[in-house]
Amino acid sequence: MTQDTPQEAVLAIRSLSVVYVGRRSAAQAVTEVDLEVQNNEILGLVGESGCGKTTLAVAMLGLIEPPGKVIGGAVQIRTHDHSTQDILKVKPSLHRQLLWKEIAYIPQGSMSALNPVKRVREQLTDTLIEHGLKKNEALERARWALQVVSLDAAILERYPHELSGGMVQRVAIAGAISMQPPVLVADEPTTALDVVTQRSILQELVSIREKFGSAILLISHDMGVMAQIADRIAVMYAGRIVEIGSIHQVFASPLHPYTKKLINAIPNARGRESGERLIGLGGESPNIWRHPPGCRFHPRCEFAIERCSQQAPVFTSPNGSSGQRVACHLY
């Protein structure tokens, strides 16, 4: 285990694996993922569409549903009262208390995350009340949370269809921070929003981190977003983490060939046109039902050596104990 910071991690994912069960076989959507999120940091999780980011996020909340199945691993969370709980093992009633209070989720595509037939007020306060607040406290708290994300309290009486996409996203964030959880999981909070709104939402996340010291796991397929606000970054490919390091390390000296390609694909970075995006990676995109043997990236890797197709690489830290680690046979 690396120890980048002296602090203990608020969230530690240990060797987590998730499959989707089919008729005859199972698809490996997330495989042996190890991740630690430190107090007060924004950890970015990047990877192309379909690499398993949402699956990982849902799994760490303990909410995988059939046909999905967690086949191994643990998700340890350090709670407000400094005890450590394994989200995947606690009994249901405690699990529900941990959610939202200790670890809150801002779902991908929040646009459809709100119940269309309930007012915003009801959707915020019902959860607060179930987490132990009194009715008027809950309402107070909901008002406060909306204010934090720069929304007018009048929003409370609205129905979701009366809000804009950006407003809905903010409501989702307001909900997630209303109990000031130590960990926030934000799944692509800015996709489907215009650039200006995107920026202000990201700003909102940064200020939340500053105000409450929450750790944020920020999921995105957009390296550009990461560059803007993440402290550390984890790169995921075909269900595995392939590289992890501080934002400076990863951008200045990416190690994994896949990370390099991701960085090169950032629109307008290094003078490239936005035309060459992730599609420009070449080769087939991974099929989770049939991963190649050895390193999952080797069929698309221009540096692949013989060993890559035979043996799965393990993590190494080629640059010494700087904290940047990579799973690649080249190092």
Q: Which residues bind Mg ion (CB under 5 A)?
A: 54, 108
What is the distance between the terminal CA atoms of the chain, rounded to a whole angstrom? 18
Measured CA to CA, the distance from residue 284 to residue 227 in angstroms comes to: 27
**Cα dihedral across residues 311, 315, 316, 319: positive or negative:** positive
Is residue 223 a contact point for ligand ATP (CB under 6 A)? no
State which residue, 108 or 123, has the beta carbon closest to Mg ion: 108
Residue 205 CB contacts under 8 Å (≥ 6 apart), including other chains: 42, 173, 184, 186, 189, 216, 218, 229
Closest distance to ligand ATP from the beta carbon of 315 (Å): 21
Map the footprint of ligand ATP across residues 60-89, applying CB under 6 A. 67-68
State which residue, 68 or 182, has the beta carbon closest to ligand ATP: 68
In 3D, which of 106, 85, 107 has the Cα closest to residue 96?
A: 85
Footprint on this chain of other proteins (rule: CB under 8 A): 20-25, 27, 58, 61, 63, 66-68, 95-101, 104-105, 107, 109-110, 112-119, 122, 126-127, 130-131, 158-159, 161-162, 172, 175, 287-289
State which residue, 288 or 327, has the beta carbon closest to ligand ATP: 288
Is residue 115 a contact point for ligand ATP (CB under 6 A)? no
The count of residues in the chain is: 331
Measured CA to CA, the distance from residue 284 to residue 299 in angstroms comes to: 8
50 binds, among Mg ion, ligand ATP, other proteins, none (CB under 5 to 8 A by kind): ligand ATP
Beta-carbon count within 10 A of 198 CB: 20
Closest distance to ligand ATP from the beta carbon of 324 (Å): 23
Q: Which stretches of the chain bind ligand ATP, using CB under 6 A?
A: 20, 27, 29, 47, 49-55, 67-68, 108, 221, 288
